[in-house]
Each structure stands twice: as C-alpha cells, then as structure tokens.
Amino acid sequence: MNESVRLDGVSKHFGDIVAVKHLDLAVAEGEFFSLLGPSGCGKTTTLRMIAGFEFPTSGSLTIHGVEMALQPPNKRPVNTVFQSYALFPHMNVAENVGFGLLMQKVESSEISTRVKRALDMVQLTHRAEARPKQLSGGQRQRVALARALVNEPEVLLLDEPLGALDLKLRQSMQVELKELQERVGITFIYVTHDQEEALTMSDRIGVMNEGLLLQVGKPEEIYEHPTSRFVADFIGEINLLPATVVDHQSVELQGGHVVRAATGAQPGEAVTVAIRPERLTLFELDQIIPEGANTVRGRVIRRTYHGDVFYYDIETAAGVLEVKEENRPGVELYDVGEEAVAAWSPRATTVVED
Amino acid sequence: MATDVRTVEVATPEFEIAAERAAARRGLLIALPSWLYLTLFFAVPLVIVFVYSFATRSSTGRTRLEDWNLESYRRLFDPLVGEIALRSLTLAFLTTLICLVVSYPFAYYIATRRPAIRNVLLVMVMIPFWSNFLVRTYAWRVLLGTDGPLSQLSQALGGDPIRVLFTNTAVLIGLVYGYLPFMVLPLYAALERMDWSLVEAARDLYADGLTAFRKVTWPLSRPGVIAGSILVFIPALGAYVTPQILGGARTTLLGDYIVSQFLAARNQPFGSALSFGVMAVMLAATIVYFRSGAKNL
C-alpha cells in the first residue's frame, strides 16, 4: 500500500478552540476515503489542512512522502471540490475548468484539449460557454469536479460536494462519483456528515467527533463493529443498552438478564451493549427460538409502518428495544400490547465502552 | 358524477385588474412625498437652468429670454473653457485614483475582520461626517499653512517650509480627504459580499496570492470600484468649496467658473450652458463606466 496522504499528530487550534486533536491518519493511493462526523467535529478543518487553506498548529502532514504542512495551496498536488462549488461567476464553464491549467502555464492548445476532455467526462461539453449561474445544481457540481480533475491531482479533496443537491440527484451523483473515482484511480478524500453516503461510496471511513478521529475502517467494520458508543450511535440506527460485564463471553443487562457478547472489558465494568434494530427478530412466546440466540422478553408498545418495513418498540426489563421487521408475506405481525420475545445472534451484539 | 357541486369564487380578470390598479395607487401614495420634493427642488430648477442656457445676456447683465440662441453653447468650445475643464478633469481623475488606491486596501482590511471589529472600523470611517465639512476644510488650511504643523515638522527635521497651501496640490489633498469615505463604503460593501471560497478555489488551482487577487477578488469587487469612483469623480469634478478654501486665486476650476458666471460676470445663460455641459460629460462618463463594469458580470 503506497501512502498518498499521511497525517502524524496533527492538531489545529483556533484561539482557545481545539478543532482537531492529535490526528493520525494514512490514506492509501487510489483509495476512496471518507471523513464522517457531525458538523463541528473537525472533518472540514482536517480537509482544509490537507488542501492548504489552514496550517496545522502542530504535527506533520505529508503528501506522497513530501512534507506539506506549511505549503500554500498552490504548491500542493491536490485539488478541492468545494461544498458551494466556488465556481468563478465571471468566467464561463470552459474558463472555469481551464483556470488551473492556465495558472500552471500549460500551453493554450493543450488547455483546450484537456478542458474538452474533462467536460466530456462529466457530459457538459454542450455547456462550455455557459456562465455558472445558468447551470442547474447538478451541472455546477459536475463543473466543479471537472475543474479539479482536469489538473490530474494526486489527491482530490471533496467537501460535502453533494450536500446542496436534492435526494434523487444526490443518489445518482453518488454512483457517478464512485464510478468516476474508480475510472481515474485518483485518491479521493471525501468529507460528509451523511453516513449513508459514506457507507455506500467509501473504501474506508474515518469517524470524527469533537476533533478526535474515533475509528477508521471499512464501511462494514464501522457499521458492524463500532468501537465506541459515539460511532455506534452515529452510524445507522442502534439500540444502546446499559450493561455490566460478567466475563469475556457475557454481560448482564438491566433487570438481571445475562446475554452472550464478546468483550475485552474487565468483569464488573459498566459498558453499553449495541444492537442494530434489523438484527433483532420477534418471536411468539411459545415459538422455538434458534439455539444459542440472545433473547429478551417484552411487550409491544408501538408499531410504525414505513412501507417496506415495520418498526416495533418493545418494552423490556433491559430497556426499550427498537426492532425492524421486513414487510413481506410470512412475517408475523404483532399488535400493541402483545407479548413477544426479541432474539438476536451473539455476534450481532457489540459491547462498547462508555 | 358528484351532484354536490358548489360554486367557487373565481378571481375574474376584472377583479385582477382592479387589484393591480389598487396596488399601483398605493405605490404612488408612498412615493408621493419624494416625488413632490424632487419635482419642486430638482426638476423645476433644472428646467429653469435649461431654459436660461438658451437665453441672451443683456448689456446690463440681465437675462433676456426673448431671442433664443445657441451662443452660450458655442462658447463652451472656447480654449479658456477647455483649459479649465481639462484642469478640473485631471484633478477629479487624480482624486478618484488616489482615493481608490488608498481605500481599496483599507476596505479589504475592514471586510476581512471579525464583524464586531468591522463595525468599529466603519464607524471610524464615518466619524468625520459628524463635524461640518467647511470646518474640516478650514482645518486643512491650518495643517498645510507655511507655519502649520507639517511645515514646522519639516523645518525641525532640517527641511524647507512646506508651501502647498493655495495650490492645486492642496486642493487635491482636500478633495481626497473629503471624498475618501465615499470610496471606502462601496468598496467595503462589495468586498464584504465576496465569497472568499472563490479566492480559496483560485489558490487551490495553483494561483499565487497576487494572481488570485488579480483574477478573482479584483474583478468581483469591480461593482464597488465603479460605484466608489462615480461617487468620488462626479462631486470632485464640480467641487467648489474645497478649491475656494485651499486653492489659489489663479487656478480656476469648473466649479468656481460656473459660480463666477452667475455671481460676478452676471452671465446666467453661459453659466447655465456650462452646467449642462458638465452634466452631459458626467452622464456620458457614468454610462460608459457602468457599461464597462457590467460586461463582465
């Protein structure tokens, strides 16, 4: 794995505020890496430090092995797609796309060929003469992409590039972006607060909160095996139940119920058990439950219809559990007030320390 | 088929026309005070001056409206008028240029501060307006005088006394001082609206700081530059008070020349024609300037 961008102990302070705390991160060449977190978590500041718009207060930042922490943006082999696109309003589409090449003093004949190729790539050749304000949101987004990619950067930085688009367009752009990234083979560092976007597009995700990089991993690792309560809660829907560690194989829920769950925590320690709603299945009281499953008995207190799924709130001694059941023939429906058993596999039980 | 059909009130074309008329009437009512004021104190005097510009001065200095002619306008092409106009234009141009060069960095500085500091700085720009313009211009007489503080400082440092008072240099200093806020404020307004991510985008696309300014900040702040330049150039071209107080007796400018036609020479037709000539030049310059700026936005 060739390293593309590497941050070692990077911190950024704005006055008394610490935006990024001692961040270590290595992004591989050709990787689609997402920085995910709520607003104000430091993800954008991290991206801006890689771009060169902010300089780290401390730490080292290398791009392809070259120290870049204090280099201005124009001296870095990276380009940015801005959240607001930041297209130059006084230039047309072709001039916008050609700007970086012009600044690098590329010959004008080569500029026009490369601009044309870049516009072909994003299917906007026919709008080359248009001003940015004459374009739709999706078209602006593609111009912003072309303007960055035409320079063939080693790393492309994207700051919530789909945030301003409506849902349908956003979904199709997600696919388009991912395909584009695979085709050009450039490292993408993608900042988003949208977990679905991060899960579907990324090779790896880094989850940030309050200036800290909490967990880095493949989408399925982040989703299935969160290492902290924050990550578990932030990504997807999840049931969080307070518990006490019994041994390395089991924990005790509130109400004295012991369930099986692997944990590295010490016996007696207070932890949180995290279970995804779709990993829970409801059974009738007299039904046979698969061997080895964790179970907890409760009563349905709410059922909501979502079209493709039903959500149940089950009141148990361990707390209220949310259960997601598919809406298809053969799946038993439970009414409010009915007693049921919620069951799940020990492997779907994640123990996170508080 | 539903049998329970109810009649629905539909806005008829007549109703819509009536509503539009009512809205127009309301608009007129709101604008009425300003309409009246402008008609009475701006349009009417302007028409009077326009009519006078075609009249004849009698041998006793009275204005005779009987025989209309273009004599006054013909006189505008006198070499003397050309000389005065050129001097005024040069002075107004230099005033505008110096104001722009001084104001731009300052406006840029204000626009890039935190909002709280911005407001303090803006108030500081406006503080001079709290005292009378005439008084402030007289103050420059003291400052620039041969035994004034500047001159004393120069002498204390072993130099010569400064002799700028009653020259065009003094007028220029006075004009720049007087009109500076009119340049700072529109520039600030333009820069404050700037989307700074555009500058970041330019830096990201390999432009150094200066190039990013030249290619992005400057063109996008052009509306402010144009507005400020017009606000400074036009009053500077017709300036009267500042040249009277700080200028010399021998260098006539357009402002004093027009006043002297009305008061000293008692030639109202020529004074009127001069006024319209200056106004025509200003209007033409404004239109050309606006066009040049609008093209790129």
Q: How far, in Å, CA of B52 to CA of B72, rounded?
A: 10
Task: Name the residue type at position A254.
Answer: Q
Task: Name the residue type at position A72.
Answer: P
User: Cβ A151–B205 below 8 Å, yes or no?
Assistant: yes
The pLDDT, as a whole number, for residue B57 is 86
A151 and chain B in contact, CB less than 8 A: yes
User: Cβ A86–B207 below 8 Å, yes or no?
Assistant: no
A80 and chain B in contact, CB less than 8 A: yes
Give the closest of A72, A89, A103 to B205, CB-based: A103
In chain A, residues with a C-beta closer than 8 Å to the C-beta of B210 are none
C-alpha gyration radius of chain B: 27
Q: Span B99-112, mean pLDDT?
A: 96
Tell me: pLDDT of A217 over 70. Answer: yes
Supply the DSSP string of A232-246, one letter for each residue: HHHSS--EEEEEEEE
Q: What percent of chain B has pLDDT over 90?
A: 59
Nearest Cα residue to A47 out of A158, A195, A207, A198: A158
The Cα of B103 is separated from the nearest Cα of chain A by a number of Å equal to 23
Supply the DSSP string of A38-59, one letter for each residue: -TTSSHHHHHHHHHTSS--SEE
DSSP A186: -
DSSP A228: B
**Which chain A residue has the Cα nearest residue B199?**
A86
A45 and chain B in contact, CB less than 8 A: no
Task: Name the residue type at position B173.
Answer: I
Which residues neighbour B90 within 8 Å (Cβ) at sequence distance 6 or greater?
none
Q: How far, in Å, CA of A222 to CA of A204, rounded?
A: 9
User: Cβ B211–A73 below 8 Å, yes or no?
Assistant: no
ipTM of the complex: 0.85
The pLDDT, as a whole number, for residue B1 is 45
pTM for the full model? 0.82
Give the closest of A72, A83, A151 to B203, CB-based: A72
Give the closest of B200, B205, B206 to A53, CB-based: B200
> B214-246 burial, b if ≥16 CB within 10 A, otherwise e?
ebbbebbbbbbbbbbbbbbbbbbbbbeebbbbb
In chain A, residues with a C-beta closer than 8 Å to the C-beta of B198 are 86, 88-89
A72-86, B6-20, B103-117, B232-246: segment of lowest average pLDDT: B6-20
In chain A, residues with a C-beta closer than 8 Å to the C-beta of B216 are 88
The pLDDT, as a whole number, for residue A296 is 93
pLDDT 10s digits, A250-307 = 999 998 889 999 888 889 999 999 999 999 999 999 888 888 899 999 999 999 999 9
In chain A, residues with a C-beta closer than 8 Å to the C-beta of B203 are 52-53, 72-74
Q: Span B84-104, mean pLDDT?
A: 95
User: Cβ B195–A151 below 8 Å, yes or no?
Assistant: no
Give the closest of B195, B205, B208 to A99, CB-based: B205
Give the closest of A88, A90, A104 to B206, CB-based: A104
> B124-145 burial, b if ≥16 CB within 10 A, otherwise e?
ebeeeeeeeeeeebeebeebbb
